[in-house]
């Protein structure tokens, strides 16, 4: 099955938000029982030959180290479950993913030539939507799959909207309020992924 699942990190693979630089001293509202469920869900994808990537605004090394620590605590191996992580290379890139950010924003009409703090924050979010889709392109090229074979999960709606505009139609918003009994981003991920996997397996069986 030539399908790739790509997950955001904050509020998608964990409940809380790390600001892009998670530390192993904080569980970010995600206890070990949830990490165990997450690992079981990821393994259900792997057993069906679905590769798994992380596409985050966070710093790659920090996200990798955090999940390595959390997975190890519950007896799982990060490198076995996650094929790759795409994201910021350092703290500065969390808000500034391009070395010539302002020139890029102006050239692409993302912001006007006069910036205030609110506009800058909004522009940074929009630029990261662009960047995350660029990462999806890299993953699809690396895996040699069509865009329809990439399933993308993110809690930020603009990231999903932009991915769909660019042809990644199997992109899904992770919503903390999807179920009033489970007000948790990760709970949505843990419910949605098995549903999509079941649908994929049925489609494969019908071909």
What global pTM score does this model have?
Answer: 0.87
pLDDT for position 24: 95
The CATH number of whichever domain residue 113 belongs to comes to 3.40.50.1000
> What distances in angstroms separate CA 36 from CA 118, 143, 147, 175, one per listed residue?
39, 27, 30, 21
In the chain the first and final C-alpha atoms are separated, in Å, by 12
pLDDT for position 135: 94
> What distances in angstroms separate CA 68 from CA 15, 42, 106, 185, one per listed residue?
17, 14, 39, 20
pLDDT for position 121: 52
- 3-class secondary structure, 57: strand
Q: Are strands 84-88 and 51-59 parallel, antiparallel or unpaired?
A: parallel
Range of the domain at 35: 4-206
Spell out the per-residue pLDDT of the chain, length 207, in tens. Answer: 699 999 999 999 999 999 999 999 999 999 999 999 999 999 999 999 999 999 999 999 999 999 999 999 999 999 999 999 999 999 988 877 654 555 555 555 554 454 444 454 566 777 888 889 999 999 999 999 999 999 999 999 989 999 999 999 999 999 876 555 555 789 899 999 999 999 999 887 655
pLDDT for position 184: 74
Spatial separation of the C-alpha atoms in residues 18 and 138, rounded to whole Å: 25
Residue for token pair 């070990």 = 32
Torsion angle (degrees, nearest 10) of CA 124, 128, 130, 136: 180
Spatial separation of the C-alpha atoms in residues 174 and 178, rounded to whole Å: 8
Number of domains into which the chain is organized:
1
């Amino acid at each position: 099955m030539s399908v790739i699942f790509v997950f955001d990190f904050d509020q998608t693979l964990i409940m809380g938000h790390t600001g892009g630089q998670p530390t192993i001293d904080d569980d970010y509202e995600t206890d070990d029982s949830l990490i165990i469920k997450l690992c079981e869900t990821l393994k259900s994808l792997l057993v069906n030959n679905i590769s798994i990537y992380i596409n985050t605004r966070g710093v790659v090394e920090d996200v990798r180290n955090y999940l390595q620590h959390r997975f190890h605590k519950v007896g799982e191996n990060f490198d076995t479950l996650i094929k790759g992580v795409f994201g910021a290379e350092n703290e500065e890139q969390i808000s500034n993913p391009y070395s010539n950010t302002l020139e890029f924003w102006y050239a692409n009409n993302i912001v006007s030539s006069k910036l205030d703090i609110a506009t800058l924050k909004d522009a940074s979010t929009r630029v990261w939507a662009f960047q995350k889709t660029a990462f999806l392109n890299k993953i699809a090229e690396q895996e040699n799959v069509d865009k329809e074979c990439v399933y993308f999960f993110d809690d930020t709606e603009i990231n999903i909207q932009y991915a769909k505009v660019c042809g990644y139609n199997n992109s899904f918003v992770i919503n903390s309020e999807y179920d009033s009994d489970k007000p948790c981003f990760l709970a949505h991920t843990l419910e949605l992924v098995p549903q999509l996997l079941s649908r994929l397996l049925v489609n494969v069986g019908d071909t």
